[in-house]
Chains A and B, each alone.
Chain A
Amino acid sequence: MSIDLTTLSIVEARAGLRSGQFSAIELTQSYLNRIKALNQTVKAYLHVTEEQALESAQAVDQAIQNGKDGALLGIPLAIKDVLSTTGVETTCGSKILAGYTPPFNATAVQRLFDAGVIMLGKTNTDEFAMGSSTENSGYFTTRNPWDTERVPGGSSGGSAAAVSARLAAGGLGTDTGGSVRQPAALCGVVAIKPSYGRVSRYGLIAFASSLDSVGAFGRTVQDVGLILGVMAGHDPKDSTSMNVPVPDYMATIGQGVKGLRVGVPKEYFIDGMQPATEKAVRAAIAQLEAMGAEIREISLPHTRYALSTYYLIAPAEASANLARFDSVRYGLRKTQGDLWDTYKTTRGEGFGAEVKRRIMLGTYALSAGYYDAYYLKAQKVRTLIKQDFEKAFEQVDVIASPVAPTTAFRIGEKADDPLQMYLSDVFTLPASLAGICGLSLPCGFDESNLPIGLQLMGPFMREDVLLRVGHAYEQATEWHMRQPAL
């Protein structure tokens, strides 16, 4: 075995497994070896499921020998720890769920398992997916493989860093306001946030129910398309999953961008943006034009209100979603005085600062006398933001923008100023509020050799267009091939 199997894309690894060039055990072992060597530096995983991974790999090799095939047969992936996994501790990066082992798999995870995926472990996240840096994890902060003094982004920073550092072939994340797109950008990998309702949320431990989606990480656009294709589709256990056919993404991914109309929203190029980021994103847009796309300046006038809208709706829903952590049926219990004291102590000590801050904000926004002024107002503005996109997509097929205003920031840099931290999501929040799909892919590096991400946003349920544009861009550029030196 001469090549390092961890350098292969999922598409390449699938080919190698199919042709018998290497076994699933060998592939899995390569990743486990690399995890052993590097996870202590990157801190991508909360727990590595080595034994289970090797058992699955063995079963896969057996299946391959028996002539079985599957879209992701034998592919080792990292799973964000907010996705439920049967019998495997699932903590959401929170102390309050330490030791909790779900009796069921999230639907998205189950579909991957059914397709032959091998789980390498559960990856770190900001507690309950609330954050943009993994600094809010109840356990530790994940490091950016490009500069371990910097954050990987968040909340799915563990999966992003794992894919970037080749500690997994691909990964699962969740995106509520940018939580797969922003860390993908900061770690120099690809991530797709599907439209709301495209992938079942069953088993995704809810943060904000009307915004949460399960997304995928990979080192190429094709790879995330493959993972999405397996996860996507109607689930009777999720009343908010769309019962519509899932296109064959691989069938259209190579069709190029010629004739496609790419919208460039002026509101996404703002003061205070890192110059290198703007330059790289504009260059990427020029590249698309050079490849035959038609570039149109568009306006999404309510963009500036997305942050306020999001920070009312998401915390309000979160305040209810996190009420179940009451120490009765699972998780931490800190017994104190009477039952209510126990509730309050458990929740006061079990939740971290950011989670408590958002529960407080959301509880306030829903409380008597404030509902109309805050929550209802935010829902109305959400309508305006959604309408902005609907109007835009009458003129263009896809919208291009930066993913984040800056490249990866230093650990601790924004930790004391929640509002500054929230601002790192300004470009990803609007698509979440509108429920549309978004793709994040590498489009350059800044002067410190930190990756920059290009965001492509597509109409509701048009992930196929995003993958097609992203793949065409990737074919014409080499950003995705750069690897962090670890």
Chain B
Amino acid sequence: MSLSRAEVEHIAELAKLNLTEAELDQYAVQLSAILDYIAELNALNTDDIPPTASVLPLKNVLAADEVTFGLEQKAALANAPDAEAGQFRVQAIFE
């Protein structure tokens, strides 16, 4: 399994990661090597095996619908890189 540069760029776009030219080249090689290694899983027939999304024997973990207070506005915004009028400020999105 080898990943092309274009595929690596596409994944980087999905993951919202700016990668340098050098990184794109490096990841194409490294990810391909890892995927080659991982291909060993294909040797296993898992047709009748259920997937394990969680190892826990748990189901229906629910909370009662009761309000508890969270954070003051100031605390909510305390770590914000940019805030204005009680809100988080970001650049506008141009669709």
Contacts and interface: CB of A to CB of B under 8 A. Distances in A.
Interface in A308-361: 308-309, 311-312, 319, 323, 326-333, 335, 338-345, 347-349, 351, 353, 356-357, 359-361
Contacts of B31: 357, 360-361, 364
Interface string B80-95: 1110000010111110
A49 interface: no
Interface string B19-58: 1100100010011011101101110101001111111101
Interface string A422-466: 000000000001110000000000000000000000001000000
Contacts of B92: 339
Contacts of A363: 11, 14-15
A419 interface: yes
A193 B78 CA distance: 34
A367 B56 CA distance: 26
Main secondary structure of the interface of B (DSSP, over half): loop
Contact of A380 (B30, B50, B82): B50
B91 A210 contact: no
A380 B46 contact: yes
B15 A360 contact: yes
A434 B55 CA distance: 7
Given A359-B15, A360-B11, A309 B41 contact: yes
B55 A435 contact: yes
A378 interface: yes
A329 B93 contact: no
Interface in A363-392: 363-364, 367, 374, 376-384, 386
Contacts of A351: 17
B71 interface: yes
Main secondary structure of the interface of A (DSSP, over half): helix
B90 A305 contact: no
B34 A342 contact: no
A379 B52 CA distance: 5
Contacts of B58: 197, 239-240, 242
B49 A308 contact: no
A379 B55 CA distance: 10
A344 B14 CA distance: 10
Contacts of A292: none
Interface in A296-314: 302, 304-305, 307-309, 311-312
A454 to B, nearest CB: 24
B88 to A, nearest CB: 5
Given A351-B17, A384-B49, A419-B33, A196 B80 contact: no
Interface residues of B, number: 50
B66 to A, nearest CB: 11
Nearest to B83: A329
A339 B90 contact: yes
A360 B79 contact: no
A356 B19 contact: yes
A245 interface: no
A103 B18 CA distance: 30
B75 interface: yes
A101 interface: yes
Contacts of A326: 16
B15 A240 contact: no
Contacts of A348: 17-20
A28 B17 CA distance: 43
B15, B37, B91, B92 pick with most chain A CB within 10 angstroms: B15
Nearest to B44: A381
B18 A378 contact: no
Given A308-B37, A419-B37, A101 B78 contact: yes
Interface in A199-256: 210, 236, 239-240, 242
B78 to A, nearest CB: 7
A360 B8 CA distance: 8
Q: Enumerate the 9 nearest inter-chain pairs by beta-carbon distance, A residue then B residue, closest first.
A: A435-B55, A348-B18, A379-B51, A330-B79, A380-B46, A333-B81, A344-B18, A339-B91, A239-B61
Interface of A: 99-101, 103, 196-197, 210, 236, 239-240, 242, 302, 304-305, 307-309, 311-312, 319, 323, 326-333, 335, 338-345, 347-349, 351, 353, 356-357, 359-361, 363-364, 367, 374, 376-384, 386, 418-419, 433-435, 460
7 contacts: A210-B54, A239-B58, A328-B80, A331-B79, A332-B81, A348-B20, A419-B33
